[in-house]
A and B are shown apart, each in its own frame.
Chain A
Amino acid sequence: MPVLVTIATVNALFFRGGSEQVSFLNPDVLRERCRDEIEDSETRARAMIFVEQLQQLTRQYQNVVVASIDAYIAESVKWESSASGLIERLQPWDSERVRTVQEIVRIRQSMRELLTTEQWKRVFE
């Protein structure tokens, strides 16, 4: 019985399958690419700050998922639990999940404004 199914799903959430492909959802690879493809400059330093923020956001997303599973289990184990009670309990985590993903978009927009088209292409292509 895969009782650890939820743990595995948490790990796999934004993890791009061990891929070396550069991605905003894979900050470790993105950090390396920025280091390799952007010359040592103020721009690179700022790009690295954005990468660190992305790293924090992917962790934050995982924490939100863990919290929502925790809330689901805490409510479900009660005999008097119901779908409406569960939905109400999970709603704040649904909102938090969306806010975190939207924040990743904000960081991406900041990165786009920071890098030239050529720098962007070197990092992401």
Chain B
Amino acid sequence: MQHKHSALLSRRLALKLAVASVLLVSGCTSMSSSSDLDAAMSDLDVAINEVGGNGEQEKLASIARRIEARAQDLAAKHRAFTDNFDRLLSEYDATEAQLEQLIETYATRREALRNDLLHLQDELHAALTPDQWTEVVQALNQTGNALASYTFSEN
């Protein structure tokens, strides 16, 4: 009975880690300097800190840590781009070439980091069973439904 309870808790934690990781990746497909991204990272940290010596959890936690590091990098790059872009746009002496260069450099870097995150999502995916993935994507679907409501209210 105790073993069954422990296995259930372990499975729940694995799912919590996977869901927190995927939601963080989903936030990074959009990108912003929003503090909500920090909140997503905090949720992921909480899940990582709950990990015990369980092999499955350790593997997921390792992927989650790499997702978090990439997400932080991406958020910092986006923040720097938005600030620099905003400043240059308002500077009378800034040239079109300078602005184009800034856009191109950021776009290349953003796509590379975002693609790294998607590859990490692949690793996460590979570490889960189809049943576990189904539970993870329920959280993504909730995000999708909220997105639909948001889009509807905007239009």
Contacts and interface: CB of A to CB of B under 8 A. Distances in A.
Interface of A: 1-14, 16, 22-25, 62, 65-66, 68-70, 72-74, 76-77, 79, 81-83, 86-87, 90, 94, 97-98, 101-102, 104-105, 108-109, 112, 117, 120-121, 124
A102 B34 contact: no
Contacts of A3: 23, 139, 142-143, 146
A68 B90 contact: no
B40 to A, nearest CB: 5
B49 interface: no
Contacts of A11: 34
Contact of B90 (A6, A24, A105): A24
Given A4-B146, A77-B141, A105-B89, A69 B26 contact: yes
Given A12-B32, A69-B30, A112-B92, A76 B143 contact: no
A121 B90 CA distance: 9
Majority SS at the chain B contact face: helix
Interface residues of B, number: 53
B99 interface: yes
B86 A24 contact: yes
Interface of B: 19-20, 22-24, 26-27, 29-34, 36-37, 39-40, 43, 82, 85-86, 89-90, 92, 96, 99-100, 103-104, 107, 111, 114-115, 118-119, 121-122, 125, 130, 133-134, 137, 139-144, 146-147, 150-151, 154
Contacts of B134: 79
A105 B23 contact: no
B151 A2 contact: no
A79 B33 contact: no
A10 B99 CA distance: 23
